[in-house]
Structure 1
Amino acid sequence: MNTERLIEQLARDVRPVRRHGVARRLAVGLVCGAAVSTALLLLWMGPRPDLAAAMRGGVFWMKWGYTIAIALIAALATIRLARPDDAGGERWLWLLLAPVLLLAGAGVAELLGAPQGMWLSMWLGHSWKSCPWRVLLLALPIFVGLLWAFRRLAPTRLRAAGATAGLASGAFAATVYCLHCPEVSALFVLTWYSLGILLAAGLGALLGPRLLRW
């Protein structure tokens, strides 16, 4: 059998992939995982008592703006890396500099407007020891949802795909965690939220070659 006949027979029963099929499948995994993470937060930690009032203030949306921006950028990179040709997924990650620098600028402005004796408390807040680990824990259901999505996909750079999936999971988990967290300092969010997100990305990079193999 010549090569052309072999390729023709192998491709005979292959169904065409619907347009945006990769993005749809990853979105389903993200939404399902985020729903589990939200339920976990509500049952375990509960929403902050003043959530309705907080959502009318700028600090809450500052936190959500930061975490959602990272989540969307990481999700775009994950969509690219879920394909066999990967289509330059890492190039999207340069966009992460924008939310990081904006929040860093807000943090510097906060420090300049506060007495130096308050700087440490602004940085540590009341929950710096638990915040990154809670974000990591809430990221696990979302990461599992993305692993389910990858079962029908064909990534070839498994560590990079796992890292971006973990990054997206951590950022979406941090978005969910905002419903509970009462911290108001941009410096706190920049440090401890980001640490939780990076822990999730590191876990994804570690597990990607093992769990995304096909």
Structure 2
Amino acid sequence: MNTDDLISRLAADVPPVPRHAIGRRLTIGVVMGMLVSLFYVVTMMGVRPDLQIAVHGFAFWMKWAYTISLSFAAVVVTSQLARPDSDRMRWVWLVAIPVLLLASVGVWELVRTPRADWLAMWLGASWMVCPWRVLALAMPIFVGLLWSFRKLAPTRLRAAGAAAGLAAGAFAATVYCVHCPEVSAIFVLTWYSLGILLATTLGALLGPRLLRW
């Protein structure tokens, strides 16, 4: 039997994969992880006491617009890398759009703020803990995505791990918004993004080990 005949016989009885199977699988993994992270924020860290007032302000929605848009861009890339035919990553550029938009808001803030206040605006009151909290909240979501990948077929394991870490970090930052009182775009761009970058790096390091199939 030649190779072509063997492949044809092996593929003869394989049922077709539903069109949106990967998206549904990743969604389940993300939602399971986010529920764990949200439970931790609510029970251990606490929801910011002025949340009902904050949701009517620009700063809160600025943070959510950044983290949610980055989350969905990361999921698009993750979905592409979950396939065995992921040689060309067509949608990676989407990740840059939320970053550039938030950076433009940050520049606008700096222009309107006296230079003497720039450092306080950049560091806020929680710059030392913010990235680590985002990283910690990303772990349940990353585990959920690892569960999703158990039924998928990534071939670029390091890139897939990085994309999963990016998605986990961005969704974790979205959850963290309900606790964090910081209002500066420069703060979010720096310290939220650092936490997301840490999760991305961890995913890249663990991807070749944990995503094998």
Shorter-normalised TM range: over 0.9
The alpha carbon displacement at 1:4 in A equals 4.3
- Which residue of 1 is the match for residue 143 of structure 2? 144
Q: Secondary structure at the match of 2:93?
A: helix
Q: Secondary structure at the match of 2:91?
A: helix
Mapped contact 1:80–1:87 kept (Cα < 8 A) = no
User: What TM-score do the two structures reach when normalised by structure 2?
Assistant: 0.96
- Which residue of 2 is the match for residue 184 of structure 1? 183
Q: Relative to structure 1, is the Cα distance of residues 110 and 14 closer, same or farther in structure 2, using a 3 angstrom cutoff?
A: same
Q: How does 1:31-70 map to 2 (within 5 A)?
A: 31-70=31-70
CA distance in 2, matches of 1:135, 1:209: 23
User: What TM-score do the two structures reach when normalised by structure 1?
Assistant: 0.96
CA distance in 2, matches of 1:51, 1:88: 42
Mapped contact 1:46–1:180 kept (Cα < 8 A) = yes
The alpha carbon displacement at 1:13 in A equals 3.6
Amino acid in structure 1 at the alignment position of 2:136:
L
CA distance in 2, matches of 1:179, 1:65: 13
Q: Secondary structure at the match of 1:207?
A: helix
- Which residue of 2 is the match for residue 175 of structure 1? 174
- Which residue of 2 is the match for residue 82 of structure 1? 82
The alpha carbon displacement at 1:23 in A equals 0.9
The alpha carbon displacement at 1:9 in A equals 3.1
The two structures, once aligned, show a CA RMSD in angstroms of 1.2
CA distance in 2, matches of 1:5, 1:108: 61
Count of aligned residue pairs for this structure pair: 213
- Which residue of 1 is the match for residue 198 of structure 2? 199
- Greater shift, 16-25 or 80-89, is seen at 80-89
Structure 1 segments (4+ residues) deviating >4 Å: none
Mapped contact 1:81–1:88 kept (Cα < 8 A) = no
What percent of counterpart residues are identical? 66
CA distance in 2, matches of 1:4, 1:112: 65
- Which residue of 1 is the match for residue 91 of structure 2? 92
